[in-house]
């Protein structure tokens, strides 16, 4: 079986490894399709603070159940599943209050432990989420959309009455856009790249702003009866946007943060208190893959437009080289692990 391994920063290899047997409470998944994420690129480049090497990368993957360990119920050999990469301890404080994605002993597949860029792997049965008859390319998009589901969950959801400002028209910004549109919220997307903004417009943004040309705070003065956006999502990873978000948000507004920068930035408490803003960080997802699977299965979100290239898994190096060389031509690049 083929595994895509980052041996050490900047060194990607394909390895042949023997399949493991599932123990009690585990299942073995025959992986069919997997998506490459920015965080996989960071592990390859040595810029992910959590990664240990060598590492089988990959945390966005779907396939079918191939073997069941003892005591597994509700899943059968042949079931199509997507795997939730978040493995939590189940007994620390965040786990006890239903926040396993910030578990004190968190292990994310493909980051803290070996992941899904391989033909077969064993995962906890609870992490294998059935997807019915969804095609594998669609099912493998559930994890990236769970990032959007989680930030909306953390910020009270996007509703018809909301005006949503999304910073960033990369993969995460666009998944947030599609999820925020579900109940009819008005969505505005800001980015530095016109091609990305054109894509955002195509898939439902009511208004797009190029921050190199347009003054976002100025533009927000005409939104939501002059109050500014009721929901702001920071999916661009630029620290100064936290301050801008507090300034443009409407009274009673919510701000969701997805960027993961360690750079300090000033913010003004008065803006937050005066308008009683809610600011929420969002990391990974808490048990939200079933919700995303339902979005896909019901046809309310079609993620396939975001899959821009598919490579055979044995050509994984070419896939990573393309993303490095010409990131503008890619949105989601997938690896096909064959039948
Ligand atoms: Mn991802
Ligand atoms: Zn825990």
Q: How far is the CA of 94 from the centre of ligand 2 (A)?
A: 6
Q: What confidence score (pLDDT) does residue 200 get?
A: 97
Nearest-angstrom CA–CA distance, 33 and 77: 18
Q: What confidence score (pLDDT) does residue 81 get?
A: 98
Q: Which residues of the chain have pLDDT under 70?
A: none
Apex 40 CA angle, 56 and 296, nearest 5:
100
Q: What confidence score (pLDDT) does residue 1 get?
A: 73
Q: Structurally, what CATH architecture does the domain formed by 156-281 represent?
A: 3-Layer(aba) Sandwich (3.40)
User: What's the token pair of residue 81?
Assistant: 């599943």
User: Which residues, in sequence order, are CB contacts of 69 under 8 Å at separation 6+?
Assistant: 21, 22, 23, 24, 25, 26, 27, 122, 125
Nearest-angstrom CA–CA distance, 109 and 92: 19
| Ligand nearest to the Cα of 333, by number | 1
Nearest-angstrom CA–CA distance, 334 and 140: 9
Q: What confidence score (pLDDT) does residue 54 get?
A: 97
Q: How far is the CA of 315 from the centre of ligand 1 (A)?
A: 20
Residues near ion ligand 1 (Cβ under 5 Å): 37
User: pLDDT tens, 62-71?
Assistant: 999 999 999 9
Q: How far is the CA of 105 from the centre of ligand 2 (A)?
A: 5
Q: What confidence score (pLDDT) does residue 147 get?
A: 98
Q: How far is the CA of 106 from the centre of ligand 2 (A)?
A: 6
Task: Return the residue matching tokens 């939104």.
Answer: 223
| Ligand nearest to the Cα of 90, by number | 2
Q: What confidence score (pLDDT) does residue 58 get?
A: 98
Question: 2-145+285-336 sits in which CATH class?
Answer: alpha beta
Q: What residues does each domain of the chain span?
A: 2-145+285-336, 156-281
Q: How far is the CA of 218 from the centre of ligand 1 (A)?
A: 33
Q: What confidence score (pLDDT) does residue 187 get?
A: 98
Q: What confidence score (pLDDT) does residue 274 get?
A: 98
| Ligand nearest to the Cα of 97, by number | 2
């Amino acid at each position: 079986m083929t595994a895509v391994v980052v041996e050490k920063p900047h060194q990607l290899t394909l390895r042949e490894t023997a399949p493991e047997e599932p123990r009690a409470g585990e299942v073995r998944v025959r992986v069919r399709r997997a998506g490459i994420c920015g965080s996989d690129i960071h592990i390859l480049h040595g810029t992910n603070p959590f990664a240990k090497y060598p590492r089988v990368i990959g945390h966005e993957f779907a396939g079918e159940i191939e073997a069941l360990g003892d005591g597994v119920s509700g899943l059968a050999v042949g079931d199509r599943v997507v795997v939730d990469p978040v493995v939590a301890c189940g007994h620390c404080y965040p786990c006890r209050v239903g926040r396993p994605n910030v578990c004190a002993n968190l292990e994310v597949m493909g980051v803290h432990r070996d992941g899904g860029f391989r033909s077969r792997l064993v995962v906890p049965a609870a992490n294998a989420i059935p997807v019915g008859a969804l095609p594998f390319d669609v099912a493998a998009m559930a994890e990236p959309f769970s990032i959007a589901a989680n930030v909306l969950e953390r910020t009270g959801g996007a509703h018809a009455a909301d005006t949503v400002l999304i910073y960033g028209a990369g993969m995460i910004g666009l998944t947030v856009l599609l999820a925020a549109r579900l109940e009819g919220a008005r969505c505005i997307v800001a980015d530095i790249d016109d091609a990305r903004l054109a894509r955002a417009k195509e898939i439902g943004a009511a208004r797009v702003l190029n921050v190199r040309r347009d003054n976002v705070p100025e533009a927000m003065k005409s939104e939501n009866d002059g109050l500014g956006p009721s929901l702001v999502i920071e999916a661009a990873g630029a620290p100064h946007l936290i301050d801008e978000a507090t300034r443009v948000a409407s009274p009673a507004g919510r701000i969701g943060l997805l960027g993961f920068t360690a750079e300090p930035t000033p913010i003004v408490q008065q803006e937050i208190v005066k308008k009683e803003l809610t600011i929420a960080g969002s990391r990974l997802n808490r048990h939200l893959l079933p919700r995303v699977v339902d979005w896909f299965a019901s046809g309310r979100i079609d993620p396939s437009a975001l899959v821009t290239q598919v490579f055979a898994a044995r050509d994984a190096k070419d896939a990573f080289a393309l993303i490095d060389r010409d990131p503008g031509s890619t949105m989601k690049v997938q690896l096909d692990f064959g039948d």
